């Protein structure tokens, strides 16, 4: 809690930080959990198909109707609002579907999770095999530098990159070439660090399918002499990503790293009902990380049950971004700086000594 | 030499549920299926060493609480990513309201 020396973080998954995380026990560590009686947790974990079927019908229905509107009005300005809606449901809502179905918690029926997972992975330009494993690692080693493959904003923060993320440009530039590389060459060293060898071939096959569909879409666009096919498949990843970034960035940004308590490195934010539908309640993110088995539709109940032990949730996205902005600015100079959030008096305290933090005191 | 070890009372495990049992420096999971049969496996997930007793039992599947890795607890078979390695299972018997597992 004292040093103001600059620490240089190495975010490689096969570098010095990785070695240090393993040596110090930060990797695959035991994490803090709020105590919840077994019977209550069992009830919260119960799966059902109903809510996800209903939401998937809405998700798919909105995409079909908005795509139909965009096609009908193609060539006029009237297609723009249809594309705006289509893009968000294609490229932002699919992220939470990918996420929940990847966990296998959205539906009770396994194949339903798998089908939606595959569709959402395609829409997001994510290799369904490699990303399943990277997300498992994210849950094992949440924001552990050198281990977590899904740290959205590294330190010191690259604010330009974070801003560009809203346009989808950077993700697109990374995701599409990654799929081509996986299809043609295979997984790289970092991917191999979290995807077991027996799954490598599956990842390559999945990438080839994705690439084949994109190639077919490009061929169709050329044949028709129109951008329309690409506006419906592929390019929504650019113009519809903003909501995923708006909500997803808040999950961990500005909070502690290298700790083993999700209350310290993860944020719960109250959001409006539309964003919560698109985000499938992942705004209850501390709760999700503590108990990843609880389906999205039970997270509000879980939140009510354990909020006495969590930092107070941000009342809105606006509030959360206002809170984190000065922290990011300070991190430009001192990357060890982070936002340490107060716990209510009813909560079990943070185990600072256990987290072995050597970082300066934090913002309000 | 294999021996039968008393693990718990039969009523200690709810139907379609699991409890943890530690013995001899090892940890096990004792299951009661929806049709009232008992089973036992190693207690830790083969993926990341998480206690399966905190997971969810659905029909003949135990799902790991951390990464949702799924095993058939009757056979120990891993049912797909992120678990690739099967669970060790153990013979179980119920006598006089007690659950015994055979270790050897």
Q: Which tokens is B11 given?
A: 């009523």
**Number of folded domains in chain B?**
1
Res A359: pLDDT: 45
Task: Tell me if A292 and B84 make a contact (CB, 8 A cut-off).
Answer: no
- In this structure, are residues A362 and A340 in contact, taking their beta carbons and an 8 Å threshold? yes
Res B84: pLDDT: 86
For tokens 């951008």, what's the residue? A227
* Summary count for chain B: helices (H), strands (E): 0, 10
How many Å is the maximal CA-CA distance in chain A?
66
**Residues 6+ away with beta carbon under 8 Å from A64:** none
Q: What is the mean pLDDT of residues A99-107?
A: 95
CA nearest to A352, candidates A340, A344, A363, A364 = A340
What one-character-per-residue DSSP string does A1-27 give?
----SPPPP---TTSHHHHHHHHTT-T
Chain B contact probe: residue of A45, A46, A138, A289 with most B CBs at under 10 A: A45
pLDDT tens figures, A141-197: 999 999 998 999 999 999 999 999 999 898 888 899 999 999 999 999 989 988 889
For tokens 């100079």, what's the residue? A333
Element (H, E) at A89: helix A79-91
Is the predicted pLDDT of residue A355 greater than 70, yes or no?
Answer: no
The predicted complex's ipTM stands at 0.85
pLDDT tens figures, A36-45: 999 999 999 9
Average pLDDT, chain A: 92
Using 50, 70 and 90 to split pLDDT, how confident is the model at A1?
very low
Q: What is the mean pLDDT of residues A58-69?
A: 98
Residue among B17, B48, B70 minimizing CB distance to A28: B48
Rg of chain A taking only CA atoms, in angstroms: 21
How many Å is the maximal CA-CA distance in chain B?
39
For chain A, list residues whose CB is within 8 angstroms of any CB belonging to chain B. 28, 41-42, 45-47, 103-105, 108, 129, 132-133, 136, 139-140, 196, 198-199, 291-293
Q: Which residues of B touch A136 (CB under 8 A)?
A: 47-48, 67, 81-82
Is the predicted pLDDT of residue B100 greater than 60, yes or no?
Answer: yes
Res B83: pLDDT: 87
Work out the burial of residue B26: count CB atoms within 10 Å of its CB; fewer than 13 is exposed, 13-18 middle, 19 or more buried.
exposed
Element (H, E) at B30: strand B26-32
- In this structure, are residues B53 and B29 in contact, taking their beta carbons and an 8 Å threshold? yes
What one-character-per-residue DSSP string does A263-308 give?
HHH--BB---HHHHHHHTTTTBHHHHHH-TTS-GGGHHHHHHHHGG
- In this structure, are residues B43 and B52 in contact, taking their beta carbons and an 8 Å threshold? yes
For tokens 């509030």, what's the residue? A319
Q: Which residue has the higher pLDDT, A170 or A48?
A: A48
- In this structure, are residues B5 and B21 in contact, taking their beta carbons and an 8 Å threshold? no
Q: How many Å apart are CA A232 and CA A210, to the nearest integer? A: 15
For chain B, list residues whose CB is within 8 angstroms of any CB belonging to chain A. 17, 47-49, 54-56, 58, 63, 65-68, 70, 81-82, 84
Q: Is A250 helix (H, G, I), strand (E, B) or coil?
A: helix
Task: Tell me if B58 and A47 make a contact (CB, 8 A cut-off).
Answer: yes
Average pLDDT, chain B: 94
pTM, 2 dp: 0.90
Res B2: pLDDT: 86
φ, ψ for residue B100 (rounded to 5)? Answer: -115, 140
Q: How many residues does chain A have?
A: 364
Task: Tell me if B68 and A132 make a contact (CB, 8 A cut-off).
Answer: no
Q: How many Å apart are CA A255 and CA A155, to the nearest integer? A: 11
Other residues' Cβ atoms within 10 Å of the Cβ of residue A248:
21
Element (H, E) at A163: helix A159-165
We report the CATH number of the domain holding residue B35 as 2.102.10.10
- In this structure, are residues A250 and A166 in contact, taking their beta carbons and an 8 Å threshold? no
For tokens 């499938």, what's the residue? A280
Q: What is the mean pLDDT of residues A27-49?
A: 93
Residue among B47, B56, B81 minimizing CB distance to A45: B56
Domain ranges (residues) in chain A: 16-355
Is the predicted pLDDT of residue A364 greater than 90, yes or no?
Answer: no
Q: How many Å apart are CA A18 and CA A147, to the nearest integer? A: 6
Is the predicted pLDDT of residue B48 greater than 80, yes or no?
Answer: yes
Q: Is A184 helix (H, G, I), strand (E, B) or coil?
A: helix
pLDDT tens figures, A329-339: 999 999 999 99
Using 50, 70 and 90 to split pLDDT, how confident is the model at A6?
low
């Amino acid at each position: 809690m004292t040093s103001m020396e600059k620490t240089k973080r190495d975010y490689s998954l096969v570098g010095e930080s990785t070695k240090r995380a393993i040596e110090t026990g930060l990797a695959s560590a035991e994490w803090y959990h709020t105590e919840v009686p077994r019977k209550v947790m069992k009830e919260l974990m119960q799966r059902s198909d109903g809510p996800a079927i209903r939401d998937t019908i809405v998700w798919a229905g909105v995409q079909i109707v908005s795509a139909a509107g965009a096609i009908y009005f193609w060539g006029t300005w009237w297609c723009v609002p249809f594309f705006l809606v289509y893009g968000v449901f294609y490229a932002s809502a699919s992220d939470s579907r990918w996420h929940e179905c990847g966990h296998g918690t959205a539906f009770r029926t396994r194949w339903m999770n798998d089908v939606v997972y595959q569709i959402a992975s395609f829409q997001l330009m994510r290799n369904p095999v490699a990303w399943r494993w990277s997300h498992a690692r994210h849950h094992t080693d949440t924001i552990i530098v050198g281990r977590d493959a899904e740290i959205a904003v590294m330190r010191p923060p690259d604010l330009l990159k974070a801003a560009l993320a809203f346009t989808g440009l950077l993700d697109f530039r990374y995701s599409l070439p990654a799929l081509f590389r996986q299809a043609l060459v295979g997984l790289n060293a970092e991917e191999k660090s979290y995807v077991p060898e027996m799954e490598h071939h599956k990842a390559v096959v999945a990438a080839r399918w994705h690439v084949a569909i994109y190639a077919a879409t490009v061929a169709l666009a050329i044949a028709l002499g129109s951008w329309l096919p690409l506006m419906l498949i592929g390019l929504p990843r650019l113009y519809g990503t903003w909501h995923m970034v708006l909500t997803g960035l808040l999950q961990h940004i500005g909070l502690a790293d290298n700790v083993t308590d999700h209350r310290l490195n993860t944020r719960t934010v109250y959001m409006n009902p539309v964003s919560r539908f698109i985000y499938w309640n992942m705004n209850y993110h501390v709760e999700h990380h503590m108990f990843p088995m609880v389906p999205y539709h039970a997270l509000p109940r879980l939140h009510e049950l354990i909020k006495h032990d969590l930092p107070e949730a941000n009342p809105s996205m606006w509030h959360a971004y206002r809170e984190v902005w000065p922290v990011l600015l300070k991190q430009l100079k001192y990357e060890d700086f982070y936002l340490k959030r107060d716990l209510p008096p009813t909560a079990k305290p943070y185990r600072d000594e256990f987290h072995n933090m050597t970082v300066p005191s934090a913002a309000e | 030499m294999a021996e039968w070890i008393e693990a718990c009372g039969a009523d200690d495990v709810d139907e379609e549920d699991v409890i943890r049992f530690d013995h001899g420096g090892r940890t096990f999971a004792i299951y009661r299926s929806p049709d009232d049969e008992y089973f036992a496996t190693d207690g830790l997930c083969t993926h990341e060493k998480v206690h399966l007793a905190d997971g969810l039992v659905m029909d003949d599947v135990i799902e790991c609480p951390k990464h949702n890795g799924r095993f058939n607890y009757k056979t120990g078979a891993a049912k797909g990513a992120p678990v690739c390695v099967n669970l060790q299972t153990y013979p179980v018997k119920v006598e006089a309201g007690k659950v015994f597992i055979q270790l050897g």
